[in-house]
Structure 1
Amino acid sequence: MNARTAFHGIFRLFTQSRLAVAGLGVTQIIGYGTLYYSFSVLAPSMGADYGLASDWVFGAFSASLLVSGLASPWAGRWIDRYGAGAIMAPGSVAAAAALVLCAHSANIPSFFIGLVAIHLASTFVLYNAAFALLVQMDPETARIRITHLTLIAGFASTILWPVTTELHAYLSWREVYDVFAAAHIVVCLPVHSWLAMLSRSQRRLANRTMASTVEPMLSSEHIRAGFILMVCGFAFLGFVNAAILIHMLPILAALGLGGVSVLVGTLFGPAQVASRLISLLSGNKLRPLALALISTGLMSGAVALLLWTGSALTGAVAFAILFGLGSGLSSIAQGTLPLALFGSHGYGERIGKSTAVRLIASSAAPFVFAFILHRAGISLSLTICVGFGIMAAVSFALIARLQRRQDER
């Protein structure tokens, strides 16, 4: 009887873990699509409403990202203390309220406050909280669960760019934000509420059974240097990712591909999913550090290819696919590399600090890229992104060097 009860308990937890990943996948698609990807589609209308040039609209977006980056370590400490599940449900309410606040802003200051609120809320509902939830539920299976999650969430841009474009054909940007706010209440809030209850029960079970933890790969003497290098690598890569993703449609338009920019841009999402599917089917044999290096090479190479091919449609298609492949692997690395290098203890705060620096770098990207794009042209803008990608690769390579030195001792 005890054996049967134990078996049913294990089966139930396994099933719940799979449902948790599926539920998180849906909320991440909605979260990233509404709080992040939709902005590039709606930004021109926002600027027209307030009489702002597009680079100043993206400047406000950058500033709001900066604020959320500064709040990420604080959010990470909350995640470690109270559990990721406990903050994701109120985070859904906060995201909906922030979208409504921004949608009904009467002037530029209130619009900026709304953008800040959107990105503050995002720290409680997007990847940081979702990854931490999976680590807290089961550290040993977290890496494969993170891959599963990023595989599902990779459809965010593919779904929400066309959806936002179609909605905006009939609704103002304010009304589109109201629709998105409703999605957070109707879909995300119930899922996150269920995950909060599930997480609490699994954390209590883990405390009773002395659940295992993931130990750090780096020794104590190398942890500080490794963390700094990892943060630098993700910061450089975050700049490239934010600059290209937020401006992908304007970049393609500037190259003379405006008529097919949405179509080419939608290739990014499937490519993201494809890279994560390849990683999953390979049994996650590639270590997180290798994933970080490969993703950096793919993203930098994609931008260099676009710079080289210019207005050629085939080059733009190859760019979208390669950049999506690299971005997909990068998302996995952002969740798994801190776990592999530094262990599961204090994961929430550590990933929060890493995200803070990455978001500070990313926050500058939309404004800086827009400023350079409009004043110096597309070539210099893309060249800067390639340079930052190379610097990210160097940072990750130095971590590999630290590991080799440690292993040789």
Structure 2
Amino acid sequence: MQSRQFQKLIWPLAIAETILWAALYYSFPALLVQWEQEFGWSKTGLTGAFTLAVLTSAAMAPVAGRLIDRGLGTKVFCGSAVAGAMLLVLLTQVTQLWQFYLVWFGIGITLAGCLYEPCFAILTRTLGSRARRGITIVSLMAGLAGTVSFPAAFYLSSTFGWRGAVLVFAAVIIVIAVPLMWWAASRAEQIGGAASVPSSRNAREPMRIARKPAFWALALGLAMISMNTGIMITHTIPLLTERGFARETAILAISMIGPMQVIGRTMVMGIEHRVPSLVIAISCQFAMSAAALSLMGATALPVLLASFVFLQGLGNG
């Protein structure tokens, strides 16, 4: 593929993924406080819906992958984004906690079809050996989704209420993200139309790998990182405001994690050929553990809030 074609394929996907992460994923922690104040539901009850969405997304990811492998990448990718936007609209109508859970269960299904995994699967099928560069560009840009979502949600909810903010997020998905996704994914299918079907030997490879203890150790480590990230982005704003920090300060702090993630990913790109992957992975986990300790001590020593932002973003990135 020529460089110009590569850029035309990658940048629309990068913009679309940034919007999707901001609107469908980060909107939950960004609006959590408003939901708690309006509905009076407990923080535990509310965050359970987000946990359900993440678990549902993980469970549905293999289904989305199989559909993409059958040549339905564009339909799965764009259809999931449209469904996610419609569910955001439906979210503005909920009045009961079970309805809130039901909507986020549905959003969890759509996450499996339109976030990183399906996007990267499409790029891998299309670009082959060049997919890594494309995936890097998309993940670097989408790493700023939280930086977009938190301030936008704060401003929009302050001006139009949380329902207005959610409707704006839904509209941005439909008007900007979906057309970009459709154009890029359709182009990817045309370019990768002659891609070979995996052999039966390759099809059995995942099962062979899954029998290795190292696979499960890695899976557990990644699950812990994912859990840490989910807890931090969901609870940082309420935690900081409860401990006396201004809401604007809390939003600034959580928003700056995104740029730190980008820095972290860029650093890994620079050292990955010189430093063993295991060392990088362990260092990231230590950084995120240190970030949690910094957050705990930020009330007594506010400068530790900057340490939390730096370490959490760097480790997660």
Q: Into which bin does the TM-score normalised by the smaller protein fall?
A: 0.7 to 0.9
Percent identical: 27
Q: Distance in 1 between matches of 2:13 and 2:33?
A: 31
| One of 295, 301, 320 as aligned partner of 2:284 | 295
1:137-286 matches, cutoff 5 A: 137-207=126-196, 220=208, 224-259=212-247, 260-281=249-270
Whose relative contact order is higher, 1 or 2, with alpha carbons under 8 Å and at least 6 apart? 1
- How far 1:139 sits from its partner (Å)? 3.0
Work out the CA distance in 2 between the residues paired with 1:44 and 1:255.
Answer: 14
Deviation at 1:144, TM superposition (A): 2.5
SS in 1 for 2:114: coil
- Give the TM-score normalised by the residue count of structure 2: 0.88
* CA offset digits 1:294-319 (Å, max 9, x no partner): 32222122223333554322111011
Q: Which amino acid aligns with 1:200?
A: E
Cα separation, 1, equivalents of 2:205 and 2:59: 28
SS of residue matched to 2:171: helix
Instruction: Tell me the residue number matched to 1:361.
Output: none
2:52 maps to which residue?
Answer: 63
Instruction: Pick which of 68-77 and 276-285 moved more.
Output: 276-285
Q: Which residue of 1 aligns with 2:18?
A: 29
Cα pair distance change 1:217/1:143, threshold 3 Å: farther
The structure number with the bigger radius of gyration is: 1
For each residue in 1:221-242, what CA deviation from the matched residue of structure 2 results, as whole angstroms up to 9, or x when unmatched?
Answer: 7853332222111111111111
Partners in 2 of 1:306 and 1:109 — Cα distance? 32
Counterparts of 1:278 and 1:66, CA distance in 2: 30
Question: Residue 248 of structure 1 contacts residue 265 of structure 1 at CA under 8 Å; is this kept in 2?
Answer: yes
SS at match of 1:312: coil
| Structure 2 residue runs without a partner (length 5+) | none
Q: What SS does the aligned partner of 1:206 have? A: coil
The 5-angstrom pairing of residues 45-194 of structure 1 reads: 45-82=34-71, 84-194=73-183
1:259-278 deviation line (CA, Å, top 9, x unaligned): 52122222211111111223
Q: What is the total number of aligned residue pairs between the two structures?
A: 313
Instruction: Give SS of 2:69's match.
Output: helix
- Equivalent position amino acid for 2:261 in 1: Q
2:157 alignment partner AA = H
| Separation in 1, partners of 2:273, 2:127 | 17
Cα distance, 1:15–1:86 mapped onto 2, change above 3 Å: farther
8 Å contact from structure 1 (residues 68, 119) kept in 2: yes
TM-score (structure 1 length as normaliser): 0.69
Q: Deviations over 1:359-392 (max 9, x none)?
A: xxxxxxxxxxxxxxxxxxxxxxxxxxxxxxxxxx
CA–CA separation in structure 2 for the residues paired with 1:222 and 1:103: 42
Taking a change above 3 Å as real, the CA distance of residues 88 and 316 of structure 1, as seen in their structure-2 partners, is same
Q: What CA distance in whole angstroms lies between the structure 2 residues aligned with 1:133 and 1:293?
A: 30
| Alpha-carbon distance in 2 for matches of 1:95, 1:324 | 27
In 2, Cα distance between equivalents of 1:139 and 1:226? 26
Q: For 2:17 and 2:314, how far apart are their aligned partners in 1?
A: 18
The question of whether the paired residues in 2 share the 8 Å contact of 1:102 and 1:114 is answered with yes
C-alpha distance in structure 1 between counterparts of 2:141 and 2:299, whole Å: 32
- The 3 A distance-change label for structure 1 pair 285 and 192 is farther
**Partner Cα separation in structure 2 for residue 136 and residue 77 of structure 1:** 13
CA RMSD of the aligned region, Å? 2.8
Whether the aligned pair in 2 keeps the contact of 1:264 and 1:320 (CA below 8 Å) is yes
Runs (5+) with no aligned partner, structure 1: 1-9, 329-409
Query: Aligned to 1:24, what secondary structure does the other structure show?
Result: helix
What is residue 386 of structure 1 aligned with on the other side?
none
